[in-house]
Structure 1
């Protein structure tokens, strides 16, 4: 009996069964840490649904190795793009050929695309945050408080600059918070030290709080004193693993409205997909894959600890 040749796009394993060749091109996630990330789950589902020969791979990149990793990506034509997460969204801008779209003003990048041999930095965080607010029904808070001053905080501040009368940015570095406030209109932003957060919540009417720090990723930490939260506030936590952080559970207990970070994750990812592929994102596929992996719905209200 003659041998059987493998079909195109497959190879033959030692037992004679055809197995699919691995995708020939990759999209990377650059960050430290990356173990918690769910991006590969819904991006690979999207690539498969679109029939694309692409694979999304998370890669831990310590800060000291970022420049060399970007140089390697530039040389490796098999890498068509990347996402960038903490702590590299600001630092990576120095290693790209140019910035485009909102990344120009934000000076923060979460998406890299290879365009005519050049690495171009984009920011889809702002669009992702805006769409997540829309889905959550959050419109125009009078006064918003942002915790953090990194890349995600910059995107959040820029979006809230079009919505809120006043935006307070709290960071361990007041200089970093002040730099975020420069994205806002004159006298619209206020930079404060992080240790002032509880005092502000106690003395001022805050309609919206956004946690744009990693505090809460351990499942226990909380960036503020829970008793300072009030009924009627909207509390957004960009941490999405765990989905229902200690902050969101405290918000619910206080009668505030909790909004988890899955929405921003999904919508920034969908925008990135469209940059890499120049085709519409299969949003329903991405959402289903993300919610299954997270074990929670974007719109779900936490039932409690």
Structure 2
């Protein structure tokens, strides 16, 4: 039986989601389709019935919150973040999930990094808020470093964290005032500095990288950001965002079709997609 899936977003020129999902379908010999649907926010309502007719779909910027009214129910992950990036349509019931957190947690585990230790997070919008919450729930001593203009955003995230975990340790600092006299078990970047096409940027100083035992950068294009390159040069454990992107897709397939994949299968797709990014977006050309 043919089933149709899709990715809903607004500007999807650089997305890697279709090839990831197609590879996951191929591994299970499923002849399903996965299309791209580009819509501005004001066009969402007019396309709701089409989306509901799909077997399931993923959601990215700017629709992760806007899609919620079109869901019949929300999984705990979606409620926790008030954000939906995966919808499953079964028996006429449309359930919204947030699989970003699953992808994030799987990536940190695969790195062998300590999410429950001293954790420094750069940026707190969107995916950064999710990373902050997951780190705090894991028991981290969390430092959130943001631009001065984003301090209210970080304060709001801290308030939400304390509501979930009253004894959570969360400190907010300006990104120019990060303490490098202490050691961080994990440095996580959730801001766009270093993302293609402005690949020369690095969100933190060399001193911050040196003070960190492991580094995770949510950016997956380029494959190796300046931050990741510097961390690896210093012998640090480091991972880019492709792992998180693939692992959250794996979770979607588990939800949609009860399909599971081995770590080696997932790692092979991560490496394949990283090479595809390098091929599709050559730096300096």
Measured against the shorter chain, the TM-score band is 0.7 to 0.9
Q: Tell me whether 1:179 sits opposite 2:156 in the alignment.
A: yes
- Displacement of 1:67 in angstroms is 4.1
Matches within 5 A, 1:113-192: 113-171=88-146, 172-181=149-158, 182-184=160-162, 185-186=165-166, 188-190=168-170, 192=172
Tell me the equivalent position of 1:250.
230
Does structure 1 conserve the Cα–Cα contact (< 8 Å) formed by 2:6 and 2:35?
A: yes
CA distance in 1, matches of 2:208, 2:116: 18
- Displacement of 1:211 in angstroms is 1.5
**Residue-pair matches, total:** 269
Tell me the equivalent position of 1:280.
260
Does structure 1 conserve the Cα–Cα contact (< 8 Å) formed by 2:186 and 2:212?
A: no
Q: Tell me whether 1:36 sits opposite 2:7 in the alignment.
A: no
- Displacement of 1:111 in angstroms is 0.9
Tell me the equivalent position of 1:224.
204
Q: Give the 3 Å change call, closer, same or farther, for CA 187–199 of structure 1 in structure 2.
A: farther
Does structure 1 conserve the Cα–Cα contact (< 8 Å) formed by 2:161 and 2:168?
A: no
Tell me the equivalent position of 1:233.
213
Does structure 1 conserve the Cα–Cα contact (< 8 Å) formed by 2:247 and 2:266?
A: no
- Displacement of 1:226 in angstroms is 3.5
Q: Give the 3 Å change call, closer, same or farther, for CA 116–213 of structure 1 in structure 2.
A: farther
Indicate the SS of the match to 1:199. Answer: coil
Q: Deviations over 1:77-97 (max 9, x none)?
A: 2x2111122343334334422
Normalised TM-score (structure 1): 0.76
CA distance in 1, matches of 2:193, 2:45: 27
CA distance in 2, matches of 1:31, 1:244: 25
Matches within 5 A, 1:286-301: 286-295=266-275
Indicate the SS of the match to 1:295. Answer: helix
Q: Deviations over 1:166-194 (max 9, x none)?
A: 2233444323222322135235253646x
Indicate the SS of the match to 1:173. Answer: helix
Which is greater in Rg? Answer: 1
- Displacement of 1:106 in angstroms is 2.1
Runs of 4+ in 1 over 6 A off after TM superposition: none
Question: Any stretches of 5+ residues in structure 1 without a counterpart?
Answer: 1-22, 297-305
Q: Give the 3 Å change call, closer, same or farther, for CA 148–70 of structure 1 in structure 2.
A: farther
- Displacement of 1:244 in angstroms is 0.5
- Displacement of 1:283 in angstroms is 5.9
Indicate the SS of the match to 2:188. Answer: strand
Does structure 1 conserve the Cα–Cα contact (< 8 Å) formed by 2:115 and 2:186?
A: no
CA distance in 1, matches of 2:42, 2:89: 23
CA distance in 1, matches of 2:93, 2:42: 22
Of Structure 1 and Structure 2, the greater helix share is in: 2
- Displacement of 1:198 in angstroms is 3.1
CA distance in 1, matches of 2:63, 2:122: 18
Indicate the SS of the match to 1:146. Answer: strand
